[in-house]
Amino acid sequence: MTAGLLQECETYIMEKTGINMKLSEKSLAVSDSFLHKMQLKFEPADDSVEEQHDEQEKSHCKKQKKKDWHDINFKALQDLPGWDKFDFRRVVNWTHVNSAEWFIEERHGSVMHHASGLTFILGKDNIWRMYDTVKNSDLNIQIGKSLIASYKKLLEAVEDDGEGQDDNLEVLKELFTKFRRDMETNGFSENVGKNVSRMAIQKDNCIDLFLSNPHLWAFTDKVYDLIKGEYRNIEPTDYILHTCGYPAPTQIDANICQKIEDFYSSLFQTSALCEYRKKIVARCLYGALVEEICILQKGRTRNGKGTETTLIRNSFGSYFVTIDKKNLTREQGDVDKPNSQMFNIFGARYISSSETSPKDRFVSSIIKGLSGNDPFPVRTLGGKPITFVPTGLINIQTNEDPVFDTMDAAIASRPKIQEYPFTFTANDAEAEVDDADDEDDEDDEEDNVLEKKTDPELKAMFRSENCRDAFIALFLRKFGEYFVKNGKLNFHIATPLEVQEFTRKNLMKSLSIAAWLKEHYQITGNDLHKEKKKDMYVKYIETSTLCESTGKHQFYKELSSILKEKKTATTRYYVGVRSLE
């Protein structure tokens, strides 16, 4: 190396690193003393050893070549029973697409896609699950397990075939190691899942499929046939999307069953009223509305409504849904507005609500929509609308007289209001305080409190698994006793006179405008007969006997549900009506 070249190297190092380094040329010869210190030794060249090494390399290469998938005898694989139409590229050169195709063939119909973007996937327990996106599902895990198991079946078939398959078996086993690694890698299997979702059957009627077997009550391991009165294993074609969330009970505590019976007896004044409520609850086990009604449970605080709700929620699991009262008491400005609470009633069999307040008015159109077997549109945030028929009976808890924003024949027959008349007190001292308070208002019928002593351990017991199992077993049996006769369903429940009278009494506020109209006007149906809207409201204010008159907006709203309305440039009229005076 020349001195000039060394200097150029020194300059380059200085420019790049800032280090001033002096380079010099050294011989590559290694001294024997150095080799001795490092305990190194050069062996003389041996041509025979080198030739032997070359032979080993050639042998190794030849052996490696045998394991290349190009050398697979595909004809021998296609001769395997059941594999004649299989695309073997899936096991030698797997991709996101051909792996997705394989999974769909293996699990035909186990993934359904809805136009709203919802994906429904069948689990290994034969229970379907709903996902808003594939990313949030366990589809990648199912794909990995399913295709790995299918690959193993191929290896078993090749091994069993024996003759002529030795090379195939060796190559496939080596490929299987790589295949398994990819399938158990989230990145690969998730991309396969995206392709499965794209290729999956789009069934917009799948929403109806999941509501098509209302007679099946699903546990996590079995279904109970409400008509036959028997348990059986879950089948994919049962289209089970919701379950009660626990296994079918195997042991039932008779003492707990009796405590549940005693609890219901303590809530009501007569056995007929108690049986009516139990029939309503038992009918909620069925996954379809069989009567256009809604239930209102009215009573003071500490009257057992909350304790009963705890018991039902614990036993119904995901068949039980609670919605905020605002969904029932305010009009929805936009029917396409996202509402996850109303979306969650899809497939529910018992719908409860938060307690109403004195100024709340139920929106009649919503109550009719939820109780009338009509298609109900709803969507979640970021999702497209879906439409389904509500299947759960509305059970509304209230301390107030229910008031509906409009009252017509269709809505007047819907509410069934059952009174919870007793107040459960913790001890005698508390009861005495309540009695003293009632003496000041004993002329007020509403303040005549019926009291019973409560069992402080009851609510906690109703949350237990033993009580849950006892309740569901008890009411499954009652369903058969109440509604199944000779293998056929009869859902009729006679409404007790006490419930009818209590309903009429509590709907007086809602019925007041219709009653006033009937008292002061004749509905003729003749468009030549007309009355000014503002004149009718003035007359209502002058003649109403209610302590609290209905406001103008509500007055017009309720009349508009009964009468036709017309207007001129300056005046609005109700037509088909004339004054009786």
CB 214 within 8 A of CB 287: yes
CB 103 within 8 A of CB 195: no
Residue 330 tokens read as 């305010």
Alpha-carbon span 355 to 343, nearest angstrom: 20
Residues near 97 by Cβ (< 8 Å), separated by ≥ 6?
A: 195
**Tell me, what's the pLDDT at 29?**
56
The 3-class SS string of 491-512 reads: CCCCCCHHHHHHHHHHCHHHHH
Place of tokens 């989230």: 186
DSSP state of 174: H
Q: What is the pLDDT along the chain (581 residues), one digit of tens a residue?
A: 567 777 777 777 777 676 777 777 766 555 555 445 555 454 555 555 556 666 666 655 555 555 567 778 888 999 999 898 999 999 999 999 999 999 999 888 899 888 888 889 998 899 999 887 777 788 889 999 999 999 999 999 999 987 778 888 989 999 999 999 999 988 899 999 889 888 887 888 889 999 999 999 999 999 999 999 999 999 999 999 999 999 999 999 999 999 999 999 999 999 999 999 999 999 999 999 999 999 999 988 888 999 999 999 999 999 999 998 888 887 554 445 556 788 889 999 999 998 888 778 888 888 998 998 889 888 766 667 888 999 999 999 998 888 888 777 778 889 999 999 999 887 654 444 444 344 444 344 445 668 888 887 888 889 999 999 999 999 999 999 999 999 999 999 999 999 999 988 888 767 777 778 888 899 888 889 999 999 999 998 888 776 566 778 878 877 886 788 998 888 999 999 999 87
Alpha-carbon span 153 to 269, nearest angstrom: 66
The 3-class SS string of 91-143 reads: HHCCCHHHHHHHHHHHCCCCEEECCCCCEEEECCCCCEEEECCHHHCCHHHHH
**Tell me, what's the pLDDT at 32?**
55
Q: Per DSSP, which regions of 212-364 are E strands? A: 216-218, 223-225, 230-232, 294-298, 320-323, 350-353
CB 578 within 8 A of CB 534: no
- H or E element, residue 120: strand 119-122
| CB neighbour class for 181 (10 Å; exposed up to 12, middle 13-18, buried from 19) | exposed
Strand partners, 121: 111, 129
Instruction: Give exposure, 314-324, as e/b (b: 16+ Cβ within 10 Å).
Output: bbbbebbbebe
Alpha-carbon span 221 to 232, nearest angstrom: 9
Alpha-carbon span 158 to 168, nearest angstrom: 8
Place of tokens 């440039």: 569
**Tell me, what's the pLDDT at 445?**
44
Place of tokens 């705890």: 310
Residue 468 tokens read as 């849950």
Residue 413 tokens read as 């027959």
Alpha-carbon span 446 to 247, nearest angstrom: 45
H-type alpha helices, 200-249: 206-209
Residue 447 tokens read as 């303040």
Please tell me the total number of residues recorded for the chain in this structure. Answer: 581
Residue 553 tokens read as 């907006």
Alpha-carbon span 19 to 465, nearest angstrom: 78
Alpha-carbon span 496 to 397, nearest angstrom: 19
User: Torsion over CA of 6, 8, 14 and 16, rounded to 10 degrees?
Assistant: -120
Q: Residue 451, SS3?
A: strand
* 18: region left, alpha or beta (phi > 0 left; psi from -120 to 50 alpha): left
CB 111 within 8 A of CB 197: yes
User: Which one, of 116, 86, 110, lies nearest residue 98 by Cα?
Assistant: 86
> May I ask the CATH architecture of the domain 507-579?
Orthogonal Bundle (1.10)
| CB neighbour class for 419 (10 Å; exposed up to 12, middle 13-18, buried from 19) | buried
DSSP state of 569: S
Alpha-carbon span 91 to 5, nearest angstrom: 58
For the chain, the helix, strand and coil percentages under 3-state DSSP, each to the nearest 5: 45, 15, 40
**Tell me, what's the pLDDT at 54?**
65
Helices and strands, number each (H, E), in the chain: 24, 23
Alpha-carbon span 68 to 212, nearest angstrom: 52
Residues near 151 by Cβ (< 8 Å), separated by ≥ 6?
A: 91, 176, 179, 180
Amino acid identity of residue 62, one-letter, is K
Q: Residue 554, SS3?
A: helix
| CB neighbour class for 428 (10 Å; exposed up to 12, middle 13-18, buried from 19) | exposed
Alpha-carbon span 517 to 497, nearest angstrom: 27
**Tell me, what's the pLDDT at 406?**
78
Check the CA dihedral 148-150-152-158 and report its sign.
negative
CB 79 within 8 A of CB 86: no
- CATH of region 254-503: 3.40.50
Helix pair 552-560, 508-520: axis angle to 10 deg: 70
Alpha-carbon span 144 to 199, nearest angstrom: 17
Domain layout of the chain by residue ranges:
3-37, 70-204, 254-503, 507-579
DSSP state of 546: -
User: Which one, of 204, 265, 266, 213, lies nearest residue 239 by Cα?
Assistant: 213
Helix pair 254-267, 271-283: axis angle to 10 deg: 120
**Tell me, what's the pLDDT at 26?**
66
